[in-house]
Amino acid sequence: MIEKLPEKIDLLLCEPLLDDWSKGFLESIKDQYIKRSSLSERQLATFNKIQSRFSPQEKEKLKKWVDTYRRYDQKKARVIAEYYTRTSYFSDIARNILEREDYVPPLHRYKKMSENKYAEGVWRNWTADPKFPDGTKVQFRSDRYNPRRSNRLAMVLNSKQVIISHAKGAKCYLVLLFGESNPVAVEERQLKKPDKKGKYV
């Protein structure tokens, strides 16, 4: 098999659903094989793993995943990707999801990115009904780190801002404090219904 490696790699490189990482790996080992006529056991194992994803049966599964992703998962992927761009995890796949409309992440990597407690918390915050709908008057909770905002009254402009935390209550709003001209992003847990301590300025 290894004698025909360059030809096998060329066939794989023609696959339209080949992901960027696999494409780069295949090009690298092809160059190495042409120069040295050898691969390490680990490189060969990785090649075999990539090749196995493009058997007729696996290609059919891959086509179904592409359709499923574009129909049902793409919106969720973008919400989660926004969160990961602010971390050191899954940065490459998150960037591709946000910047390339035609990009479909490999199923195994997408599952790792989306099926963990952090991603699930982000999605839960995004899909939760807002406690404070658009147009609602709200009050900032007391905040020793930002006393200027403590008990300030504001108006909710938008309740569908980018989620940057998986924590409970981290649904994000765009609000405008009374007496100010520039809106600010704030998490739901920092807000409450107005009470007698509420102040306009």
What local confidence, expressed as pLDDT, does residue 95 receive? 94
Flag whether pLDDT at 98 surpasses 60.
Answer: yes
Mean pLDDT, residues 14-23 = 84
pLDDT band (50, 70, 90) for residue 176: very high
Task: Tell me what the pLDDT averaged over the chain comes to.
Answer: 92
Helix axes 74-84, 107-114, angle to 10 degrees: 60
Task: Characterize the bridge pairing of strands 184-187 and 191-192.
Answer: unpaired
User: Phi/psi of residue 184, each to 5°?
Assistant: -130, 150
Q: Is 151 helix (H, G, I), strand (E, B) or coil?
A: coil
Q: How far is CA 146 from each of CA 68, 166, 193, rounded to the nearest angstrom?
A: 45, 22, 19
Residues facing residue 156 across a β-bridge: 175
* Positive or negative torsion for Cα 73, 75, 78, 84: negative
Range list of H helices, the chain: 5-13, 20-36, 41-52, 56-68, 74-84, 91-99, 107-114, 117-127
What local confidence, expressed as pLDDT, does residue 107 receive? 87
Q: Is 129 helix (H, G, I), strand (E, B) or coil?
A: coil
Predicted confidence (pLDDT) per residue in 100-135, tens digit? 988 999 888 899 999 999 999 999 999 999 999 999
User: What are the helix and strand counts (H, E) for the chain?
Assistant: 8, 5
What local confidence, expressed as pLDDT, does residue 18 receive? 83
Containing 176, the helix (H) or strand (E) segment is: strand 172-177
Mean pLDDT, residues 180-200 = 94
